Chains A and B, each alone.
Chain A
């Protein structure tokens, strides 16, 4: 079995990750955010634009927590962050561009 990722050679490539306690705390926060997201759907009289804003904010927070802690980008090289965040920005622009081209908006009323 190949074992190239041994401790001595990994010094430059392998940074310290979060502890198990941090993983558990992040999981609890993710579960709470998910519960709030779903619970917001059942709040009577909540205006749609507030609901959409809340769902987008909580979804973004969950996304960031998983990427930062579970995928270890918080502890890894900035180059890896650039490799992921760059295309992620392009993907976001693709979504916004397609929606603008087709006249679809999440927050604004359709004309």
Chain B
């Protein structure tokens, strides 16, 4: 017990709670992000059905296409935990593969969103068209920006792994990156259910 306390005391990243500052910081950040997205989701739901001109969600949302992109993002979360497990056991070959595939699925999700946004603009829905357009593009746009940031972070991790600068001793860095990635996934679970699936 005393030896454990001594070891903890020597690690500058471990605070009086016994937890790593970086991990605690990420969880606190994700808590603040919950409130950020909560405000945007609340605004969307408050404005739902109150646009005085079209197009509305039932005329424009493409459920089959978005279901595929939601599934892609969900499965990228699986690849992320497989990457973390590979880093933790020192299997860097598979860690590189899983990290790259996670980033690829994330990029595919962003691609789906770009296609969807372009399609909506062609159908006459922009940020200025109506309340639905404003709240929809702001909410999903901010989420897409978060996913893009996550893809850049994942590619950075992959690049470090490719250059041999990421090993089992750095598993916490991958874990924190994973926490962010899973967060953008759970935000999409909520957005997909509340915006796309609920009539």
Q: Is the Cβ of A88 less than 8 Å from the Cβ of B199?
A: no
B103 within 8 A of partner (CB): no
B123 within 8 A of partner (CB): no
Q: Is the Cβ of A14 less than 8 Å from the Cβ of B27?
A: no
Main secondary structure of the interface of B (DSSP, over half): helix
B188, chain A: closest CB distance, angstroms: 10
Complex CA distance for A92 and B70, rounded to whole angstroms? 22
Q: Is the Cβ of A80 less than 8 Å from the Cβ of B19?
A: yes
Complex CA distance for A71 and B63, rounded to whole angstroms? 28
Q: Is the Cβ of B41 less than 8 Å from the Cβ of A37?
A: no
Stretch at the interface among B74-82, B110-118, B142-150, B151-159: B74-82
Complex CA distance for A84 and B186, rounded to whole angstroms? 13
B71 touches which one: A31, A71, A92, A96 (CB < 8 A)? A31
Residues in B with CB closer than 8 Å to A55 are 193, 197-198
Q: Which of A36-90 contact B (CB under 8 A)?
A: 37-38, 41, 48, 51-52, 55-56, 58-59, 62-63, 66-67, 69-72, 77, 79-80, 83-84, 86-88, 90
Q: Is the Cβ of A37 less than 8 Å from the Cβ of B39?
A: no
A50, chain B: closest CB distance, angstroms: 12
Contact with A along B64-75 (1 / 0, CB 8 A): 000100110011
B165 within 8 A of partner (CB): yes
Contact with A along B7-33 (1 / 0, CB 8 A): 110111110011110011001101110
Residues in B with CB closer than 8 Å to A67 are 182, 186
Q: Is the Cβ of A84 less than 8 Å from the Cβ of B46?
A: no
Complex CA distance for A59 and B167, rounded to whole angstroms? 35
B63 touches which one: A38, A58, A63, A92 (CB < 8 A)? A38
Smallest Cβ-Cβ distance to A18: which chain B residue: B81
Residues of B within 8 A of A (CB): 4, 7-8, 10-14, 17-20, 23-24, 27-28, 30-32, 34-35, 37-39, 41-43, 45-50, 63, 67, 70-71, 74-75, 77-78, 80-82, 84-85, 88, 165-167, 169-173, 175, 178-179, 182-183, 185-186, 189-190, 192-194, 197-199
| A–B complex contacts, Cβ < 8 Å, 6 sampled | A3-B169, A9-B10, A12-B4, A13-B19, A83-B31, A95-B42
